[in-house]
Amino acid sequence: MDIDFVVSWVDMSDPGWQANFAEWRRREGGSRNGLSEARFRDNGLLKYWFRGVERMCPWVRRIHFVTCGQKPSWLDCSNPRLNLVNHSDYIPAEFLPTFNSSVIELHLHRIPGLAGRFVYFNDDVFAIAPVPQERFFSEDGLPRDIAAFRFNLGTGLWNSCLRNNMRLINRHFDKRQVLDEFSGKWFSAEYDGRDALTRLLRPCGKFPTFKIPHNAQPYLKETFGQVWDYAAEELEKASAHRFRSSEDYTQELMRGWQLCSGSFEPCNTYRDTRMFPLLMKATQAVEAVRGQKYRLVCLNDNARIKNYDAVMAELSQAFDSILPDKSSFEL
């Protein structure tokens, strides 16, 4: 089957981008979370994203590289498997420019030429060991995912957005009906007990929130269309937020829609994926990359990393030890 990858990227060192960002920040402000340097800086590891994909996922049909018109100087744009995607190519003009990752993600299905099945990556999620396509999609073409509940007790912006997602999910889906109809998918031995809260809350009337592995996420393009058909008014209003807002909806809305509609096959994605908050676990992240301990790793940036340059240098050396050769996407 045809499976594409989509990855989004921005380089805040670009003077043009900086001027645009400053102008719209002056006009509209923005939350501290949405303005964090860690959301926009290029950590210098992107070439290893492409090397990892080419070596570890050779089956991918095409890579859609989403930016606001930027591109790294080393990127070979003539590669036939690369599609450079400007925000203006798929996001309606009235919502641009945007500095809001949620808006960039809500419209992904509009990318020209995107396959019906695709995997979405943030640029901090890397393939560091061989990943078969069956890791993302089953033989019958359904996304492989974990359906499990978690409590959302956080007060931050992202947790507010997740609650927004769940209000739409609960408005459209009947929890008891979903769990009865797709019982074999929601209560699967595949999850190694991570569905314990799901079992506990089965009698309750509403979905809480779902476990969300910081991961590369497989999607059916048609799911995005279904969600937009149902909630166009809400999503258009959220798309007008040029910076992250507590009133946003996120791509996890589409993921939750797939889970509740039964459009997935059970997979404990925690088995081969790990997120490393670099503020606290930089050493473990370096060891994981160098030792190829997982198929996929998320290297989560934070503006408060004091030894940032040293951490990035160690990670670069670790990547170079497992992916030393240029990919065909590099000049």
pLDDT for the residue numbered 154 = 79
Q: Let me know if residue 136 belongs to a domain.
A: yes
**In this structure, is the dihedral angle defined by the CA atoms of residues 109, 110, 114 and 119, taken in order, positive or negative?**
negative
**In this structure, is the dihedral angle defined by the CA atoms of residues 21, 26, 27 and 33, taken in order, positive or negative?**
positive
Q: Let me know if residue 140 belongs to a domain.
A: yes
Q: What is the pLDDT of residues 201-224, one digit of tens each?
A: 999 999 999 999 889 999 999 999
Q: What is the pTM of this model?
A: 0.95
Q: What is the pLDDT of residues 97-131, one digit of tens each?
A: 999 999 999 999 999 999 999 999 999 999 999 99
Q: Let me know if residue 144 belongs to a domain.
A: yes
Q: What is the pLDDT of residues 143-152, one digit of tens each?
A: 999 999 998 8
Q: What is the pLDDT of residues 29-82, one digit of tens each?
A: 765 544 555 456 667 899 999 999 999 999 999 999 999 999 999 999 999 999
Q: Let me know if residue 304 belongs to a domain.
A: yes
Give the HSE-up count for residue 253: Cα atoms under 13 Å, Cβ half-sphere.
35
Q: Let me know if residue 327 belongs to a domain.
A: no
- Cα(295)–Cα(68) distance, integer angstroms: 29
Cβ-based neighbours of 90, under 8 Å, separated by 6 or more? 107, 108, 110, 111, 112
Q: Let me know if residue 113 belongs to a domain.
A: yes
pLDDT for the residue numbered 83 = 98
- The residue range of the domain holding 181 is 3-322
Q: Is 72 exposed, middle or buried (0-12, 13-18, 19+ CB in 10 A)?
A: middle
Helix extents (H) in 92-156: 101-106
Q: Let me know if residue 207 belongs to a domain.
A: yes
CA angle 229, 230, 232 (to 5 degrees): 70
Q: Let me know if residue 227 belongs to a domain.
A: yes
| Contact indicator for 48, 141 with CB cutoff of 8 Å | no
Q: What region does 113 belong to: left with phi over 0, alpha with psi -120 to 50, or beta?
A: left
Q: How many domains does the chain have?
A: 1
Q: Is 293 exposed, middle or buried (0-12, 13-18, 19+ CB in 10 A)?
A: middle
- Cα(315)–Cα(146) distance, integer angstroms: 29
How far does Cα 181 stand from its chain's mean position?
28
pLDDT for the residue numbered 33 = 45
CATH number at residue 107: 3.90.550
